[in-house]
A and B are shown apart, each in its own frame.
Chain A
Amino acid sequence: TQLLEQSPQFLSIQEGENLTVYCNSSSVFSSLQWYRQEPGEGPVLLVTVVTGGEVKKLKRLTFQFGDARKDSSLHITAAQPGDTGLYLCAGFSGGYNKLIFGAGTRLAVHP
């Protein structure tokens, strides 16, 4: 069974600070995705990383896929209160392109 471990589980920081969230697995994934979910809503896709070593930037968010395609990281620069939410990594597994989600990192950015 492919598992994705995320760390940290919780993160509470002040506005303007930088942070990194990690997503690790012992299995190789063809691609990994990062989602952001707000309370009472479905997750929204932020990015998909496909190639080992790939780096993608989305404004203040930087996503990296490990060379071996077993891990990924999300770095947020100068966090803002609007970044508050649950960040989930997910990888495709098995038939029918099933998505396996990590446990999530709950981020709170205080003004």
Chain B
Amino acid sequence: GAVVSQHPSWVICKSGTSVKIECRSLDFQATTMFWYRQFPKQSLMLMATSNEGSKATYEQGVEKDKFLINHASLTLSTLTVTSAHPEDSSFYICSASGLAENNEQFFGPGTRLTVL
């Protein structure tokens, strides 16, 4: 099956710093990648959709200048949380599609971000 990896799996940073999270499709070319955020005890909330070589489309209420998304290749997308604050602490999950005819999304294992 299709494998999606995320790096790092967890990160702790100080308030005001920036953190970059990588999402890679290991064995297929992902034409579209999605970034989700999941707070404790809650469901996944879509943050943005990115297509390779295009600007990301952000969901309502998600600050595009704070959450920078780059999808420079068909196997890599990055999410940079700029000037992170404690309220940005969350579980960030990416998914990738492009393999299956039904546009099935394959999810990464997630990245736990803790901002002190």
Contact = CB atoms under 8 A, between A and B. Distances in A.
B75 interface: no
B34 A98 contact: yes
B107 interface: yes
A42 interface: yes
A8 B109 CA distance: 26
Contact of B44 (A40, A43, A44, A92): A43
Interface residues of B, number: 26
Contacts of A98: 34, 46, 49
Interface stretch (A12-20, A58-66, A75-83, A101-109): A101-109
Contacts of A102: 43
Size band of the A side of the interface? Answer: 20 to 34
A101 B51 contact: no
Contacts, number: 52
A97 B32 contact: yes
B73 interface: no
Nearest to A10: B41
Interface string B1-14: 00010100000000
Interface in B41-71: 41-46, 49, 51, 57
B79 to A, nearest CB: 14
B112 A43 contact: no
A41 to B, nearest CB: 5
B49 A96 contact: yes
Interface of B: 4, 6, 32, 34, 41-46, 49, 51, 57, 91, 93, 95, 97, 102-105, 107-110, 112
